[in-house]
Chains A and B, each alone.
Chain A
């Protein structure tokens, strides 16, 4: 199957006053149609930067894609002109759901105007009536009750969960092949989180959209993702089917992440907190970036480990993966 999105060796640089950072440093992954890939990691691991890089929405000035490719529909988005990207790609074939529903909608325009915007810009609806009808239909698809009556309302008249539905409606309006969702549920109440995840699953069934879900919440990742990529300090350290990542994590960092989640029904074992801080990206360690915090560190860790293939598309960038690690755990 041709992947809906294929990212290869993506390097993103951020020029700050204290130097050039690489929040995304050689990231590769792919997502198939109708598949959900979860990118998990701590804050500052480069998840959000990866997601902004895919649509080339990096902060300006200072942010840029230094190298690598982002391929959707056979075209490398990193090589398109800004105009072409806006006209034919953003919102049309690859879209994004931003993190905070309270700030992602323009306060002075109606919800109908904003949800209709992608239809208008990509000429999927011409004329005011068609755009309104289209916007109402999309709001219906994100399960907003009586959508026609809410088109002329403003964002502040919607609750947080409803706003996130509106944002999601903007993202799916043109039925893109890929949707990037950056922490779409982390600012919502837990009960609403469950509904949103349910909604994404239904939208995916209906449209076959490939979803890249960025989250720091392993519970959310477990409930919706087919595959998981674990990010640490700008690199993907482990990737594989969700089932395998949760049952047999191969990278010590993934294990530490999983150990920090409380679980129901398990005998009250103390949650382990991971000591130390992620490395300074202005001056990353030369070898394995997790080594300074790793309990299983060995001499070889001074060199960056290659991805060890563990079968079923599972791989981990750790010298111990596939052999000693299993015994050590």
Chain B
């Protein structure tokens, strides 16, 4: 278990290095930030000075090494636009993004687990078909589109929910649904097929044969077994939430990391983009490590190293 965990930590670090390299190169392909920072009529001399002060005149590999060295020391540079450390900017916006992602993930589970369980118990019924349709809808529509439709219905027409911003619990409802609906289809399928397997197992029949009520068999004895593959996937879904939040945050003007990074991208504010994406990578890797650890809590066979 310990060596397995160490291996996973090492793999995670490799992923983070890879992500840093990719994002560093891609941002630099998007163009010269100095052009956007200075007025078009700025003299050549000033442009050169600014470029030098931002180390943009160095060869790209030197730029990367400098960036990596500084990043290791927690310094992602200063935002070109906001004139504050890029990492501080990201960390300031991070809680809002995590909050949105967690609520979205919770929403998807609250729908997917009962849908999956009931679809398996009543397989082939109208509910099974309804659940499949509902889940597919979330997968078929892009999240910004779901977001816009919800704003039209619940904010503009009905006036029930605020269309944008953050602050009250009501603000998080629509962004979380827009973000969390997508994985519902996959999660429902995982729960349904796992439950079908488990409900057909010898130990459920054994439980039935000693008089366990059907409700206990399904929601206690079967679900805990069926939860193993679902939990396995949570790290991936959490990453999908973080990634998806970039767009949803823009639609709902959610003051999170995603919106900050998107804005920074438009103004070629490299340090902020780098800090934001790298930070997402770290959160992603950490979430997957947590998932690996959580197997042990659900499945004793893993806890005991078998």
Instruction: Specify the chain A residue showing the minimal Cβ separation from B201.
Output: A103
The answer to the question of A87 belonging to the interface, with a C-beta cut-off of 8 Å to chain B, is yes
State how many angstroms separate the Cβ of A63 from the closest Cβ of chain B.
12
Is B209 a contact partner of A107 (Cβ separation < 8 A)?
no
Name the A residues within 8 Å of B208 (CB-CB): 57, 86, 90
Quick one: given A100-B202, A103-B202, are A108 and B299 in contact (CB under 8 Å)? yes
Bound complex: CA A84 to CA B207 (Å): 16
Bound complex: CA A157 to CA B225 (Å): 17
With beta carbons under 8 angstroms apart, the residue of B205, B206, B211, B300 that contacts A89 is B211
The answer to the question of A171 belonging to the interface, with a C-beta cut-off of 8 Å to chain B, is yes
Is A171 a contact partner of B202 (Cβ separation < 8 A)?
no
Instruction: Specify the chain A residue showing the minimal Cβ separation from B200.
Output: A59
Name the B residues within 8 Å of A91 (CB-CB): 209-212
Instruction: Specify the chain A residue showing the minimal Cβ separation from B303.
Output: A154
Instruction: Specify the chain A residue showing the minimal Cβ separation from B216.
Output: A121
State how many angstroms separate the Cβ of B202 from the closest Cβ of chain A.
4
With beta carbons under 8 angstroms apart, the residue of A59, A86, A156 that contacts B211 is A86
Is A105 a contact partner of B206 (Cβ separation < 8 A)?
yes
With beta carbons under 8 angstroms apart, the residue of B202, B212, B221 that contacts A104 is B202
B163-210: which residues lie under 8 A (CB-CB) from chain A? 200-210
Bound complex: CA A99 to CA B206 (Å): 10
The answer to the question of A230 belonging to the interface, with a C-beta cut-off of 8 Å to chain B, is no
Quick one: given A86-B214, A87-B211, A118-B210, are A107 and B301 in contact (CB under 8 Å)? yes
Q: Mark A90-109, 1 if CB is under 8 A from B, else 0.
A: 11100110111001111111
Name the B residues within 8 Å of A59 (CB-CB): 200
Instruction: Specify the chain A residue showing the minimal Cβ separation from B210.
Output: A91
Is A157 a contact partner of B304 (Cβ separation < 8 A)?
yes
Bound complex: CA A105 to CA B210 (Å): 12
The answer to the question of B73 belonging to the interface, with a C-beta cut-off of 8 Å to chain A, is no
Instruction: Specify the chain B residue showing the minimal Cβ separation from A52.
Output: B205
Name the A residues within 8 Å of B213 (CB-CB): 83, 86-87, 121
Bound complex: CA A109 to CA B206 (Å): 13
Name the A residues within 8 Å of B157 (CB-CB): none
Instruction: Specify the chain A residue showing the minimal Cβ separation from B209.
Output: A96
Q: Mark B1-12, 1 if CB is under 8 A from A, else 0.
A: 000000000000
State how many angstroms separate the Cβ of B197 from the closest Cβ of chain A.
12
Bound complex: CA A109 to CA B301 (Å): 11
The answer to the question of B129 belonging to the interface, with a C-beta cut-off of 8 Å to chain A, is no
Instruction: Specify the chain B residue showing the minimal Cβ separation from A87.
Output: B211
Is A108 a contact partner of B211 (Cβ separation < 8 A)?
no
Instruction: Specify the chain A residue showing the minimal Cβ separation from B203.
Output: A106
Which DSSP category, helix, strand, loop or mixed, fits chain B's interface?
Answer: helix
Name the A residues within 8 Å of B225 (CB-CB): 106-108
Bound complex: CA A154 to CA B306 (Å): 12
The answer to the question of A203 belonging to the interface, with a C-beta cut-off of 8 Å to chain B, is no
Is A95 a contact partner of B224 (Cβ separation < 8 A)?
no
State how many angstroms separate the Cβ of A162 from the closest Cβ of chain B.
16
With beta carbons under 8 angstroms apart, the residue of B201, B209, B216, B300 that contacts A154 is B300
Bound complex: CA A174 to CA B225 (Å): 26
The answer to the question of A170 belonging to the interface, with a C-beta cut-off of 8 Å to chain B, is yes
The answer to the question of B298 belonging to the interface, with a C-beta cut-off of 8 Å to chain A, is yes
Name the A residues within 8 Å of B212 (CB-CB): 86, 91, 117, 121
With beta carbons under 8 angstroms apart, the residue of A98, A105, A108, A114 that contacts B224 is A108
State how many angstroms separate the Cβ of B5 from the closest Cβ of chain A.
21
Instruction: Specify the chain B residue showing the minimal Cβ separation from A88.
Output: B211
A43-88: which residues lie under 8 A (CB-CB) from chain B? 55, 57, 59, 61, 82-83, 86-87
Bound complex: CA A176 to CA B304 (Å): 35
Name the A residues within 8 Å of B210 (CB-CB): 90-91, 95, 117-118, 121, 170-171, 173-174
Is A167 a contact partner of B206 (Cβ separation < 8 A)?
yes
Is A154 a contact partner of B304 (Cβ separation < 8 A)?
yes
Bound complex: CA A92 to CA B124 (Å): 33
Bound complex: CA A298 to CA B216 (Å): 55
Bound complex: CA A139 to CA B295 (Å): 29
The answer to the question of A150 belonging to the interface, with a C-beta cut-off of 8 Å to chain B, is no
Name the A residues within 8 Å of B205 (CB-CB): 57, 98
Quick one: given A55-B209, A92-B211, A118-B210, are A104 and B203 in contact (CB under 8 Å)? yes
Chosen A-B contacts, 25 in total, with CB atoms closer than 8 Å, are A61-B124, A86-B214, A87-B211, A90-B208, A90-B209, A91-B212, A95-B210, A99-B202, A104-B203, A104-B206, A105-B206, A106-B203, A106-B204, A107-B299, A107-B301, A108-B225, A109-B221, A114-B207, A117-B210, A117-B212, A121-B211, A121-B213, A154-B301, A156-B300, A170-B210
Apart from the given pairs A61-B124, A99-B202, 16 other A-B contacts in the complex at a CB distance below 8 Å: A87-B211, A87-B213, A91-B212, A92-B211, A100-B202, A104-B203, A107-B225, A107-B299, A108-B298, A108-B299, A109-B221, A109-B224, A122-B211, A154-B301, A154-B304, A170-B210
Q: Which residues of A are in contact with B by a Cβ distance under 8 Å?
A: 55, 57, 59, 61, 82-83, 86-87, 89-92, 95-96, 98-100, 103-109, 114, 117-118, 121-122, 154, 156-157, 167, 170-171, 173-174
Q: Which residues of B are in contact with A by a Cβ distance under 8 Å?
A: 124, 200-214, 216, 221, 224-225, 298-301, 304, 306
Q: Which 5 A-B pairs have the closest CB atoms?
A: A91-B210, A91-B211, A118-B210, A96-B209, A103-B202
